[in-house]
Structure 1
Amino acid sequence: MDKRLPMLTIIVPCFNEEEVLPETIKQLTGLMNELCEEKLIGKHSRILFVDDGSTDRTWMMIAMESVRNQFVTGIKLARNVGHQKALLAGYLKAREKCDCAISIDADLQDDVGVIKEFMKNYHEGYEIVYGVRKRRDTDSFFKRTTAQGFYRMMKKLGIDLVYNHADFRLLSKRALDELARYPENNLFLRGILPLLGFRSTKVFYDRKERLAGKTKYPLRKMISFALDGLTSFSVRPIRFITILGIILFSVSILLGSFTIFNHAIFGLNGTVLSLWVLGSLQLIALGTVGEYIGKIFIEVKNRPKYAVEIDLFTKSMVERLDRKMDESYFLKYKS
């Protein structure tokens, strides 16, 4: 290995990406060759595909490509654990053999060409480089509006997020080592990384349309992701409930006094309405508290976040080539 050049690992989480994977491999392989030619990375750099329990041919395609492409390697998780945990698995595996790591989604909506700018910033001494979208023109009106509302809400709650940044970023070895010290199960990497405190910068780019396949983040997962981010980094929702309770208590005293003097106005209908309002608020309060208690329950058990079924990353190219004639290896993990 050329000690003057950093060893890069590009981490690509995958879940049922067989439609887009050939083009992803093609573009990233071409990029790695260019980066090597321009002396931005060492020749032993790798593309690490993390198969997050796919049920299609994704893993077979990764495994077969690993025996003919010097850059491609991968790990297969034993089951689907979700994008954030699969990404963390890639980070923790990459830190064993790299000087820096770049994460990018398999759908190629993030601009692959921007990775050159990432590496140039790394050579200038930046430990974290965030890929930030210039605009959200490719999103639907609903997704664009809700995403912008989410970032504004998080900012008001005092949570430090990089606006319009997803999971397209570079982390140095030192940043990866520090990230490994965060043991929490309720992962929200976009909130954790700004806490590391290392020297960081941003690279702006235009996001593209998805080449093929379907999004792995439908509305249900987007809401769950937003709740994880909110409850993992702020207790202000709990404080808001306390403040709301104080306000409602004050209002109830005023209304109670008014009812005593004017019972004719606030009869049965007023009573029923107040029961509905207060009952709804109580359910909201219990749900919010329950969300935090549920997260405490998960953290206290401290179960492993994922299990690696197959690890090609730690294998040398020679060891991978030895599998070339073993067709049963690929057939066994076809699905």
Structure 2
Amino acid sequence: MSLPILTIVVPCYNEEEVFTKSYTQLKMVLEEIIENGDIDRHSQLLFVDDGSADRTWEKISEACVLDSSVSGLKLSRNFGHQKALLAGLEKAVNDSDCIVSIDADLQDDVHVIKEFVNKYAEGYDVVYGVRKKRDTDTFFKRVTALGFYKLMKKFGLSLVYNHADYRLMNKKSLEEMLRFKETNLFLRGIVPLVGFKSTTVYYDRKERAAGETKYPIAKMLAFALDGITSFSVKPIRLITILGFLASLSSLAAGIYVFISIMMGKTQSGWASLMISIWLIGGLLLMSVGLIGEYVGKIYEEVKRRPRYIVEENINNLEKSKTPANIK
């Protein structure tokens, strides 16, 4: 029985400072798994440059020249983490039996990949890397992350708690996932929808090895909103319920005013009037904004524009498989 070919997909965006460390550590892990006889020697690292403005692509290109187990994919501009990851997955699925996705910042423990491969050998189709705790996060990030997972569960989508995009998928499960053709990607929500036999591996997350985070608060909140609106229409239903409750409140207020008039108390309160106007106005604006978010997503989907554009492709895996190079 032939050994499986593993590809480790690493999306990169302005990771010049950490690339060398990332490449070195991932290469070391890949060689260890090959030496243990768990994967084929044609297994590879695939770095995807998501339109970096620094020397990230130059470093990827240099690694491809010096190391036949490294391949590179350069996108024409910055399409975002999820689409860069998708580009790598779509390329890797053609030449691999199992694929691991991991960020380049080395916050995820690279040695856990060995456990991923072991679980794959046991027959699991999907292996999720899950953080044991969030001690390295700020208080705000811990609270908002917990709230996000709980909110998504209430909206009907059971995400794997404390799992980002550090996972292993076999060829079959990845091929099925790639059948989801939406433009607005939230992969950590799509993967559980695919199904198949899955398990989790727990690990401790570290601080960034170098460089700055590519997910400030604004991007995190936008990512969370994308996740919610991509998988549930319940927020729109909540608007309907809110409108119904507001109507009941208006009816109650009308009854109160009528009774006040009948009792001769006709002097109205300026504060209560202003509060009511601002409250209703705020609810209306939020409702219109939320509906607009869904309409905008529909607008993006129906145009069917490409989710990413590849500018350059360095594929060493195909070269290493040619008869002249096989030992």
Superposition TM-score tier, normalisation by shorter sequence: over 0.9
Moved over 2 A (4+): 263-273
Question: Size of the alignment, in residue pairs?
Answer: 317
Match of 1:330 in 2: none
Q: Say which of 265, 271, 274 aligns to 1:272.
A: 274
Match of 1:114 in 2: 112
How far apart in 1 are the matches of 2:278 and 2:169?
51
* Deviates further, 310-319 or 219-228: 310-319
Match of 1:183 in 2: 181
CA RMSD of aligned residues (A): 1.4
For residues 218-264 of structure 1, the C-alpha deviation after alignment (integer angstroms, 9 at most, x for no partner) is 11110110000000001110000101111111111111111122154
How far apart in 1 are the matches of 2:269 and 2:138?
48
SS in 1 for 2:17: coil
Match of 1:19 in 2: 17
How far apart in 1 are the matches of 2:141 and 2:279?
30
The structure-2 alpha-carbon separation of the partners of 1:202 and 1:289, relative to structure 1 and needing over 3 Å to count, comes to: same
Q: Indicate yes or no: 2:308 matched with 1:310.
A: no
Match of 1:79 in 2: 77
Alignment of 1:1-335 (within 5 A): 4-262=2-260, 263-264=265-266, 266-313=268-315, 315-317=318-320
How far apart in 2 are the matches of 1:116 and 1:67?
26
How far apart in 2 are the matches of 1:269 and 1:126?
62
How far apart in 1 are the matches of 2:270 and 2:29?
72
For residue 317 of structure 1, report the CA deviation from its aligned partner. Answer: 4.8
Q: Report % sequence identity.
A: 56
The structure-2 alpha-carbon separation of the partners of 1:113 and 1:265, relative to structure 1 and needing over 3 Å to count, comes to: farther
For residue 273 of structure 1, report the CA deviation from its aligned partner. Answer: 2.5
Asked if the contact 2:127–2:201 (Cα under 8 Å) also holds between the matched residues in 1, the reply is yes
The structure-2 alpha-carbon separation of the partners of 1:265 and 1:237, relative to structure 1 and needing over 3 Å to count, comes to: farther
* Deviates further, 140-149 or 4-13: 140-149
How far apart in 1 are the matches of 2:321 and 2:127?
33
For residue 24 of structure 1, report the CA deviation from its aligned partner. Answer: 0.7
For residues 299-328 of structure 1, the C-alpha deviation after alignment (integer angstroms, 9 at most, x for no partner) is 000100111111112651599xxxxxxxxx
TM-score where L is the length of structure 2: 0.94
Letter in 1 for 2:274: V
Match of 1:329 in 2: none
The structure-2 alpha-carbon separation of the partners of 1:177 and 1:318, relative to structure 1 and needing over 3 Å to count, comes to: closer
TM-score where L is the length of structure 1: 0.92
Asked if the contact 1:67–1:317 (Cα under 8 Å) also holds between the matched residues in 2, the reply is no
The structure-2 alpha-carbon separation of the partners of 1:150 and 1:316, relative to structure 1 and needing over 3 Å to count, comes to: same
For residue 67 of structure 1, report the CA deviation from its aligned partner. Answer: 1.4
Unaligned runs of 5+ in 2: 323-327
